[in-house]
Structure 1
Amino acid sequence: MITFRGMIVGALMASAVTVGSGAVGAQEPDRLRGVITETKAERPYRVGVTLVHFVDDYWKGIAYGLAGEAPKAGVEIVRMMGAGGYGRVAEQIAQLETLSTMNLDAVVLGATNYDGFDRAIKRLTDKGIKVIAVGVPVNSKQIAAGVTIDEEEVGHKLASFVCRHKPQANVITIPGPNGPVWNKLRFDGFKKGADACPGMKLYGNTFQGDTKIEDGLSQASDLLIKDPGADYIYTAAANLGIGAGMAAKRMSSKAQVATGTISDRTVELMKEGHVAVAVSEQPILMGRSAIQVLVRLLNGKPLPEMTAPGAIPYPEFHVPLVEMTAKDLVNYDLSTYDRPPANWQVPSFQ
């Protein structure tokens, strides 16, 4: 049986239009890509935002999606802040305290860590402020809803790709920092996919560092010295993948990167043959979808198709994933759903 979400995933690639393709009758792509129906605010809601940072295309893309969709939906973003990186719990709690004083209807939280926010979120909800999570999960039953992706499925897609192309592959893994849950779930998915592929061997498997390019570069360099015969390098996210691809290129390694998230530099390395596959998480679409979920929540209307609370203690709306290889880039425009304009700056909203 084909589900509604399965139909969406199958149609995603067809809905993208390449800029400058010259296709006859090409239309502007649907900004919501058919994954969620547009809803308007019943009154001008005031919303505050705090995200992990604005350094990479993932979080900057979410911010771009939030900022662009809010006025279309009749929502005013009063303040948008970045906490400065993963693990900055104290800094982000201080931002939540600031937002609690601003007469808001809701707060959008891209949490710097899975744990540590429950009390701060409860102080907001006690004031009648709705809180939704975006981009990553957070351990709080006070969250009204989450908008993200199926993190395990990211890892599973990457392992399935490697298995299809080389079942006996030796794979170096760079799972990302210790602490956040999103990258643990991705690695869980990758390991499950590897377990289903007899002969695949994983090396590394250590949570450490951050998600910066230099983390991917240093970890991949060290692991390639230890295992020069590696076929693939799994990385949790784009900057780690970029760093790993740079390491493989510098060391003339045959190892190709399989990574979550895609950016311009990922594309360059993909075209050079150092990145084999990236899972597009569509962060701009995620930001737009978060506004739409939030509007429904504040309007008191039914939410779209959500996962039931379970390991994550609140319902989640999952933006579909798209597997990207070099051949897929010909007909895919990253600027529509994945990558904010290079010159775009996060507005102050002040």
Structure 2
Amino acid sequence: MKSLLMAMTASAVVLGTAGGAAAENWYPYSVEVWDPPFNMESPRSSADYVPLEKASKAWEICISFPHMKDAYWLAVDYGATEEAKRLGVKANVVEAGGYTELNTQISQIEDCVSAGADAVIIGAISYDGLNNVVTELAEKDIPVIDVINGISSDKIAAKSLVSFGEMGAKAGAFLAELHPEGGDAARVAWFPGPAGAGWVEAGNTGFQKAIEGSAVELVDTKYGDTGKEAQAKLVEDTLEAYPDLDYIVGTAVTAEAAVPILRARGLTDQVKIVSYYYTPGVDQGISRGQILAAPTDSTVVQGRIAVDQAVRILEGKDYQKHVGPALYVVTQENHGDFDSASTLAPGGFRPVFSVE
């Protein structure tokens, strides 16, 4: 196990310390390890993640995403497919088209396995809705790696993800620090994402707990698909309902959609924006002073680790069952120190659906 993870102190987890995740040698990378695994409340330890140098054979890995409608999932696709290339394994990537398409995701996974997949990596549409298919795969000795979103099944083989509860909490804590108890109320509309998704429910819980006891007043919570049109409509409706709003906080798509809407309404100085995860649009918004802050979960690295976990399991090698990159908040003040290669696909990257 020492060859996989080397102990490190938490104080070493700082902006810019991890090597460029786009590079061939993206590792070692600062992570947290949950033990016991598969319980987000378990104690965590800090470590450096070191993947295999090469796979022993060209394993076939099926990778299933909810969609690739935004840059967040493009970054996961980039990380996973680049790691498949680096390790020398095959990858077949499928995307269901959105968070309403659970049945499509299930059928795509079944088709992928029928085509010969040795392992399956799933970015789940639903926290509970994939449990039956995960059980079916486990009975066939096909390991399932839960990436990014979270699956409740105890039949999964590994998790490559962070606590979205903590992501939401970091966004909430950022606001609570700006508006502590006893200060003037800050009226906030919260857009956590599509109802029912595991990451959304966790993010919502984390955010709401983090603002308890502060001067942050949550005036509305609006769930919705993470398509740009869906989020833009939610933002427009909210601004109509709450003309004295102070903050829009939510998904990266919400944040990106809100920038031009606020500009068009002349509300840029009145209503501030915070995202609870990171995309190129959020990165640009922070650098331009249009978005205040966003925590990063090193999306590219999560995709890379999931592929490495799959290969380790298939080859019977030591692996960490539950691991995710260490989280930190990128703000306008520290943006210059942020290593974007850990989180964002390169400019101009187009989805990769097959690695041969």
TM-score bin, normalised by smaller chain: 0.7 to 0.9
| Aligned pair partner of 2:170 in 151, 157, 167 | 157
1:215-294 equivalent positions in 2, closer than 5 A:
215-235=230-250, 237-253=251-267, 254-294=270-310
CA distance in 2, matches of 1:225, 1:4: 50
Please tell me whether residue 169 in structure 1 is matched to residue 182 in structure 2.
no
Segments of 5+ residues of structure 1 without an aligned counterpart are 20-26, 307-315
CA distance in 2, matches of 1:129, 1:28: 28
**Alpha-carbon offset, residue 115 of structure 1:** 2.4
Residue in 2 aligned with 1:325?
331
Task: Rate the CA distance shift 1:30–1:99 in 2: closer, same or farther, 3 A.
Answer: closer
User: Which amino acid letter does the alignment assign opposite residue 239 of structure 1?
Assistant: V
Residue in 2 aligned with 1:121?
134
**Alpha-carbon offset, residue 66 of structure 1:** 0.8
Aligned partners of 2:76 and 2:300 also within 8 Å: yes
CA RMSD of aligned residues (A): 2.5
Aligned partners of 2:18 and 2:339 also within 8 Å: no
User: Which amino acid letter does the alignment assign opposite residue 49 of structure 1?
Assistant: I
Residue in 2 aligned with 1:92?
105
CA distance in 1, matches of 2:287, 2:50: 35
Residue in 1 aligned with 2:95?
82
| Aligned pair partner of 1:72 in 86, 97, 106 | 86
Q: How many equivalent residue pairs?
A: 326
Aligned partners of 1:174 and 1:206 also within 8 Å: yes
| Aligned pair partner of 1:303 in 315, 319, 331 | 319
Residue in 2 aligned with 1:339?
345
Residue in 1 aligned with 2:196?
179
Which string of whole-angstrom CA distances, capped at 9 and with x for unpartnered residues, describes residues 7-33 of structure 1? Answer: 45x23433467x9xxxxxxx9973553
Residue in 1 aligned with 2:55?
41
Task: Rate the CA distance shift 1:189–1:75 in 2: closer, same or farther, 3 A.
Answer: same
Which string of whole-angstrom CA distances, capped at 9 and with x for unpartnered residues, describes residues 192-239 of structure 1? Answer: 001142x221011232x211222332222222233222222111x211
- TM-score, length basis structure 2: 0.83
**Alpha-carbon offset, residue 301 of structure 1:** 2.9
**Alpha-carbon offset, residue 243 of structure 1:** 1.3
**Alpha-carbon offset, residue 339 of structure 1:** 2.8
3-state secondary structure, aligned to 1:205? strand
**Alpha-carbon offset, residue 172 of structure 1:** 1.3
3-state secondary structure, aligned to 2:14? helix
Task: Rate the CA distance shift 1:5–1:147 in 2: closer, same or farther, 3 A.
Answer: farther
User: Which amino acid letter does the alignment assign opposite residue 346 of structure 1?
Assistant: V
**Alpha-carbon offset, residue 34 of structure 1:** 4.2
Q: Which has the higher strand share?
A: 2
**Alpha-carbon offset, residue 91 of structure 1:** 0.7
Q: Which moved more, 1:144-153 or 1:40-49?
A: 40-49
Q: Which moved more, 1:135-144 or 1:268-277?
A: 268-277
**Alpha-carbon offset, residue 83 of structure 1:** 0.9
User: Which amino acid letter does the alignment assign opposite residue 33 of structure 1?
Assistant: Y
Aligned partners of 2:278 and 2:343 also within 8 Å: no
Residue in 1 aligned with 2:14?
11
Task: Rate the CA distance shift 1:81–1:47 in 2: closer, same or farther, 3 A.
Answer: same
**Alpha-carbon offset, residue 87 of structure 1:** 2.2
Residue in 1 aligned with 2:226?
211
Segments of 5+ residues of structure 2 without an aligned counterpart are 1-6, 32-48
Which string of whole-angstrom CA distances, capped at 9 and with x for unpartnered residues, describes residues 137-168 of structure 1? Answer: 12322211111111111111111111112233
CA distance in 2, matches of 1:5, 1:84: 41
Residue in 1 aligned with 2:38?
none
Aligned partners of 1:260 and 1:278 also within 8 Å: yes
CA distance in 2, matches of 1:16, 1:37: 12
Which string of whole-angstrom CA distances, capped at 9 and with x for unpartnered residues, describes residues 227-282 of structure 1? Answer: 222222111x2111111233322222211111122223223333443311111222
Aligned partners of 1:62 and 1:283 also within 8 Å: yes
Task: Rate the CA distance shift 1:300–1:241 in 2: closer, same or farther, 3 A.
Answer: same
Aligned partners of 1:216 and 1:242 also within 8 Å: no
3-state secondary structure, aligned to 2:68? coil
